[in-house]
Structure formats: C-alpha cells, structure tokens
Amino acid sequence: MERDENVARQFNAFLKHTGGKCPIIAYIEPVLPAVKCIIEHRLASGVAHWATYQGSEVGSHFVGYQMGERTPQARKESLGPGGVKFKSTLDWDEIPRPENALPLDAPIEHIIGMPPESIALIKESGLFFYSFLAFDDGRVDPVTYLETFGERWIPGLLSEEDASLYPHVRRRHAEKALAGRDEAYREAREFIRKHFEEARPYGISGSGVAWFQGASITGQRRWDHELAVGNLQVQTAMLRGVSRQHGIPFIIYSAPWGYTPEGYFGLKIDPETPFGKLLNFPTYTGGKPEHLLERQWYHAWFSGSAAVVIEDAFLHLFKRGKDKDTFELGRMAPTFQRLNRLAFESSFDRGTPYRPAAILMDERHGWQVPQSPDSGLMMERRKIWGIWDFTDADVMVDNFFGAIYPGYERAGAYGDGYGDLAHTPYGDSFDVLMSNAGAGALSQYPVLFIVGQPALTAELKERLERYVSQGGTLVLNMSQVAFEWQEFLGVAFSPKHNAAYTALGALRVSDYSEWLSPRLLLPERRFRYTRLEATDAEVLALTEQGDPLVLRHGRGNGQVYLVTAHFAQEISGQHRPDGLLNIARHLIGHLLSPHQKMRVRGPDLHYMVNETAEGLSMMLLNDRSDRWNGWITFPGLGEASAKEWYEEERLHIHRAGGDLSVRFDIPAYSIRLLSVGECARRSEPPS
C-alpha cells in the first residue's frame, strides 16, 4: 500500500504543479523518432512518453511490434494494427535495431530503465510525461525511479483489461450457471479486486461500463478511463459520476479508435507519416475522422478531467520531412497546439462542470454502451453481463440515453463518427451514479432520474426519501417501486399491487397522453401503465382513459414525480430512437428547465456548461454535417460581457428583458467556446 500512497502524493504534486489546469498530453507509443520530434518542436505541455526495449538506443531506431502469430511466414500473412494485412514488401525482421533488442515477435513490454539521454531530453524540454510503465518488474521501484522527473510526470495506466471482464463472467456462467445479476456482480467484483491487487493500476484503460464500479470496489485515489468507441457523452457522464460519487479526480485517455465502413477496427492516420508507412497502413484504413478527433479532445477537456491524454499522437502530429532523418508537424498538430494553448496557457477559465441532473442506475446493471459497425443488429446481440437477454428495465436504459443523446447507439459505426457525439435537446446536463451512491453524492444534483431497476432495498428507499426531504426532485416509474412506497409517492395502489401485478399482462394499455397545464396533447406508441388513485399527489398528466399518467408529490423541501407507464416506454420492450414516451421526454425538459444556465433557440445542439468564479464557460459543438444557426440565451445575465475563444470571432449580441443572447453560425463539425461574466469583460478588446 505504501507504493500506492507514494503515487497518490506524486499525482497531487502534479496537480499542484499544473495549478489546477488541465494539460493536453500527447501519449507517444514506443517509436523513438516520434519522441525526438515532439521534444524538438516543443509542443506546449505535450508528453514525452519513452518506453523502450532493453538495449535500444535513444533516437536511433524505430521499435516495431508484431501482432498475430509469431512465425515469420505467419507474421506476413496475419493482421496488423487496425486489422490490416501486413504488406509482403516489408520484412519486419529487417527493421534496424540493436543486437540485444527483444525480437519483434515477442509481446510488447514497456520496461523501466530509460537511458540517461532520454531523461535529460525530457527535463530539458519541460514537457509533461505520462508513464505507462510496469510497476512490479522486480528490478527497480518505479516511484523512486520516476521521481527523477520531478513534477513533470503522471503515474499512468498499467493495463487494458475492460474487454476481459464480461468474458470472465460468461466463462464462470458456463462452468456453473449463475443464478442472476447478484452472482454475476459478485464474480465481477472479485475479478476486479483480484486484478487490482495483482497489478495495482491507477485506473482502467478501456470503455467497459462495468469498470466504472471499480473505484468503489478498490478504493482508488484516482480513476483513469479510455474513451475509444461508443458514445462519448454517456461514458463521460459515467466517468464524472464516478468522480463525484467517490470524491476522486479522473483522467481521460482519449483514443482515436473506430470502425471502417467495412467493419474493421482501426485508425485513421496520415499515410505520409513515417509511422503509418512503418506499420503498413494503407491510406485511411478506418477509425475516426479528424473533425471527430478534435471534438472528442475538446469534449474530454471540458468534461472536468484533471488531464487529457491523447493516445497514439504520433499518428496525427508528425510526418516525414524532406529526408528520412527529419520530421515535420502533420495536419492535426495545429489543432493539438490550439487546444493546449486554450487549456494550459491562456487566461480562459474552463471552470467546473455544471450538471443539474443525475441518472441513478443499478450497481449490478451489467449494461454496456452499444458499439458495433452493424448497429442495426446490436440491440439483438447485446446481453446483460454478456449472458442474459435484456429485460424491459434494461431497455429503459437504452431508451433513456437515446432520448437525451439521440443516435448514440450508432456510435462507432460506419466510420463517419455519427453518434459518438450527439446534439441533444437537453445539452450535456447529466452525470450517472450507481445505486450505492451515498446521500452526499445524491445531494449534488437538484434532479435525480431512476433509470432501469435498482434493487428496492429499505436502505435505498431511506436515502431517496432523505434526498427529497432536503430539496431534491426525484423521478420514478411504477415498475420500479413496491407496495410500501405508496405513502412516499402520495398514491393508493390496488391491494393486488405487487411485483406480479406489474407484469405486462396486468397493465392497462393506452396510445395517448395529455399534459394538463399548459394543455399538451401527445400521441404515443402503445404503452402499458398501472392504474392507481392519487391521494396526496397532484396529477400532472392523464391517459386517454383519464387515469393518472404523471403525478407530483411534495415531501419536505422537495418533490417526487411518478410516471405510471411501464418503464416510461412503449409497449414493444425494444430499443428504438423514440422508444421513451413523449410524455417522459416532456417531463425531462420540464424538470431541467428551471436549472438550465442557458437556452438554445434553434435546432438541437451539443452544448456543455461549466461554472467559473466569475460567470460561466460554455462549449458549443456542432455535431451535424451542416451549419448550425441560432441564438444562445443566458437568463438574468443581460449586463454580462461575452467573449468567444475558439475562433476569437466578434459576437453578435442582443440584450433584452435582463437576458443576454448571442447569435452563432457554426460550421459543420466545428466548435465555439464562450465565456460570459466579469472574466469575459476583462478579456474583451477595447471597442
């Protein structure tokens, strides 16, 4: 444990050294000329990641590595990085390397033992350093070794294990059938705990949602997570929820992985880079387009991370120069530099993420973010914990995320980036907590949505009642509650109401909903609902039969909302883009509206709002293939000043009724960065 405490202290020293700013760090794979190049060009706040094979010299050789079978013939016929066949014209055994280097068909091994020359270069460059080193090789204590770099290094991830968790649970199920989610979750907990005890990484590299529970299982002081494929908004909402639920900082490891239109997992790289040629990638083998990479980087930075690590930066930042021994900046280098200047060098204050709502999911959920090139079939193939078919409660998770991040289930498919980041009617307004979140974590959010079906324990009910009595707004549906909850909800159930009574066959059917004030008639797909009587609760919406559909009950300083529709979704129990009922979508907007710091007049937009000491910071991301034109309004900030930082464009501002409105015309796949308040006033150029 002492080693972990040393690393925690070192990370705290790094945070102090960076002054609370979020450096954008270019993580470099073990290709030595790339490290030499990044140092020579002095990219602001970049990283010199230096991992070598034993005996390899500084800056002298490319270090290649082999994926697939290890025989020379099999290597030439196997798939390389990105699922691309190696070209027969390149003999990997002929790549120059010292005689005592490990053979190229051996597994990759990041080792401790940097040559003195590399340490000197890193110190001289002033770059930040992200360590991806083995911490228990029996030769050198890594903390003692890395202290050589002072405050310029971050102790980093050790391993990528997310893909092994679900297969592990499935194997255990095949050996002896697991009774249900409780047993699956116990198996997962033991797997995670054992992994951490053996390897002691400082986070998990990977996109597996189940790993978000690892922080509570292992008591980590910091959580690192790779954002690769799958919708990034869902994953950062979960990651930020981990941070706020457990009071720990987090780092985002931003990966360029994606899919080609043919369905191969791969990268987009500049074919003119020496690294692309070395690895034999054909032109643009797949992966994320450059405009998506830029928006992914900005989204990760603005999400509240302590640092953003850019994976495989050498694939985008550098290309070969005029001769084979020189290197130049590539097309993406200016994008990296601009973000770094904004994040670390400019006076722009990113602030603290403002998220007025939390989604509470079952800690045993076993759900996974959709990510498939064949997204049309993904919903049929996915299983809970990789074992069981989705229940209606699990489909509700799909449908709720589909309502707040439309098209999110297409992320990772088709190669165009659609769904990785999604424009939304509610903005990025949500964090995701697990059902084991304490009262302190819940109290950070004025609105709390229960999504899926957490276990209805007396302890959970007590926490939720306390949350409401202290001023929170809680949203439930009838299929999530039990008979004992009726007083809390201000309703009277049928004496028959129990778990069996809420089975599909016992529920009434409707295809119409009516919000009462102001009156709003909403056509719906057919849905089932539970008939009940309002006692102390106020009825806000009705079915076509006149039965209560949405009710509100005041409790203490807060209120609890109840939706009587079965998991607030249509009758089919299948995911579809509009699977959540229209009345449920209206309720989300109705409850978020009083807490929103800005309002959008125009098409839906992907926007993020952060609070600063002197006002607000906003990021606007146009995730569409066409221009976005509209107004952003800030209620009550009519006297505030505003400044745009991304393009430094002159703003079209309108002030009326105590509100400030700013007009934007944002090109396809572009970004705008806005500060509003006294901080912006001081930064405004003289008129």
Q: Could you tell me which residues come within 8 angstroms of residue 48 by beta carbon, excluding any fewer than 6 positions away? A: 28, 35, 38, 39, 118, 121, 122, 125, 127, 129
Q: Which two tokens stand for residue 23?
A: 């450096």
Name the maximum alpha-carbon separation found in the chain. Answer: 83
pLDDT of residue 374: 44
Q: Is the pLDDT of residue 497 over 90?
A: no
3-state secondary structure of 207: coil
The upper half-sphere exposure of residue 157, i.e. CA atoms within 13 Å in the direction of its Cβ, equals 22
Give the pLDDT confidence of 517-538 residue by residue, as tens digits: 999 999 999 999 998 999 999 9
Tell me the C-alpha distance between 11 and 13, whole Å.
5
Tell me the C-alpha distance between 448 and 464, whole Å.
9
pLDDT of residue 523: 93
Q: Is the pLDDT of residue 556 over 60?
A: yes
End-to-end CA distance of the chain: 58
pLDDT-derived band at 66, boundaries 50, 70, 90: very low
Q: Does domain 2-60+112-158+200-347 have CATH number 3.40.1350?
A: no
Contact 597, 417 (CB under 8 A): no
Q: Is the pLDDT of residue 495 over 70?
A: no
CB-CB neighbours of 336 under 10 Å: 24
pLDDT of residue 149: 61
Tell me the C-alpha distance between 35 and 57, whole Å.
12
Q: What is the pTM of this model?
A: 0.84
Q: Which two tokens stand for residue 277?
A: 């040629």
pLDDT of residue 376: 41
Domains 357-591 and 599-683 share a fold: no
pLDDT of residue 301: 96
pLDDT of residue 15: 78
Average pLDDT, integer, range 166-184: 90
* Bridge partners (DSSP) listed for residue 310: 26, 254
Q: Is the pLDDT of residue 282 over 50?
A: no
Give the pLDDT confidence of 79-96 residue by residue, as tens digits: 333 333 433 333 333 334
Q: Is the pLDDT of residue 155 over 90?
A: no
pLDDT of residue 432: 95
pLDDT-derived band at 220, boundaries 50, 70, 90: confident
Average pLDDT, integer, range 550-569: 96
- Strand bridging mode 671-677 / 642-644: antiparallel
Contact 449, 438 (CB under 8 A): no
Which of 2-5's residues contact partners 24+ apart within 8 Å by CB, and which partners?
A: 3/135, 3/141, 3/142, 3/143, 3/200, 4/200, 4/221
Q: Which two tokens stand for residue 290?
A: 């450059």
Q: What's the distance, CA 280 to chain centroid?
A: 31
Give the pLDDT confidence of 613-630 residue by residue, as tens digits: 989 999 999 999 999 999
The larger pLDDT score, comparing residue 461 to residue 50, is at 461
The larger pLDDT score, comparing residue 77 to residue 420, is at 420
Domain made up of 599-683: CATH architecture = Sandwich (2.60)
pLDDT-derived band at 261, boundaries 50, 70, 90: very low
Q: Could you tell me which residues come within 8 angstroms of residue 358 by beta carbon, excluding any fewer than 6 positions away? A: 241, 430, 431, 432, 433, 442, 444, 445, 447, 448, 449
Domain made up of 357-591: CATH architecture = 3-Layer(aba) Sandwich (3.40)
The single residue listed with the structure tokens 């009434």 is 508
- Strand bridging mode 520-529 / 508-515: antiparallel
Give the pLDDT confidence of 2-60 residue by residue, as tens digits: 445 656 666 777 777 778 788 887 765 433 444 444 433 333 222 222 333 333 332 32
Tell me the C-alpha distance between 83 and 359, whole Å.
37
Average pLDDT, integer, range 146-158: 61
- In order of 28, 395, 423, the CA distances from 600 in angstroms are 39, 29, 12
Lowest mean pLDDT among 301-310, 507-516, 600-609, 673-682: 673-682
pLDDT of residue 394: 92
Q: Could you tell me which residues come within 8 angstroms of residue 494 by beta carbon, excluding any fewer than 6 positions away? A: 501, 531, 532
Task: Please name the amino acid found at residue 494.
Answer: S
Give the pLDDT confidence of 83-133 residue by residue, as tens digits: 334 333 333 333 343 343 333 333 333 333 444 555 555 565 555 666 544
The single residue listed with the structure tokens 């992994």 is 195
The candidate with the shortest Cα–Cα distance to 668, out of 414, 421, 453, is: 421
pLDDT of residue 123: 61
Contact 505, 530 (CB under 8 A): no
The larger pLDDT score, comparing residue 64 to residue 223, is at 223
Lowest mean pLDDT among 157-171, 429-443, 506-520: 157-171
pLDDT-derived band at 263, boundaries 50, 70, 90: very low
Q: Is the pLDDT of residue 656 over 90?
A: yes
Alpha helices in 129-175 (DSSP H): 142-146, 162-175
Contact 529, 566 (CB under 8 A): yes
Q: Could you tell me which residues come within 8 angstroms of residue 136 by beta carbon, excluding any fewer than 6 positions away? A: 199, 200
What kind and span of H or E run contains 91?
Answer: none
> Which stretches does DSSP call E strand in 20-150?
24-26, 129-131
Sequence ranges of the domains in the chain: 2-60+112-158+200-347, 357-591, 599-683
pLDDT-derived band at 541, boundaries 50, 70, 90: very high
Q: Is the pLDDT of residue 511 over 80?
A: yes
The larger pLDDT score, comparing residue 412 to residue 473, is at 473
Average pLDDT, integer, range 573-589: 85
Tell me the C-alpha distance between 303 and 219, whole Å.
22
Contact 256, 312 (CB under 8 A): yes
Beta sheet of 652-656, edge-to-edge order? 599-601, 628-634, 659-666, 652-656
Angle in degrees, CA 357, 608, 261, rounded to 5: 105
Using a pLDDT cut of 70, give the percent of the chain over it. 62
pLDDT-derived band at 294, boundaries 50, 70, 90: very high
Contact 347, 683 (CB under 8 A): yes
Lowest mean pLDDT among 98-102, 335-339, 542-546, 581-585: 98-102
* Bridge partners (DSSP) listed for residue 654: 661
Average pLDDT, integer, range 347-361: 96
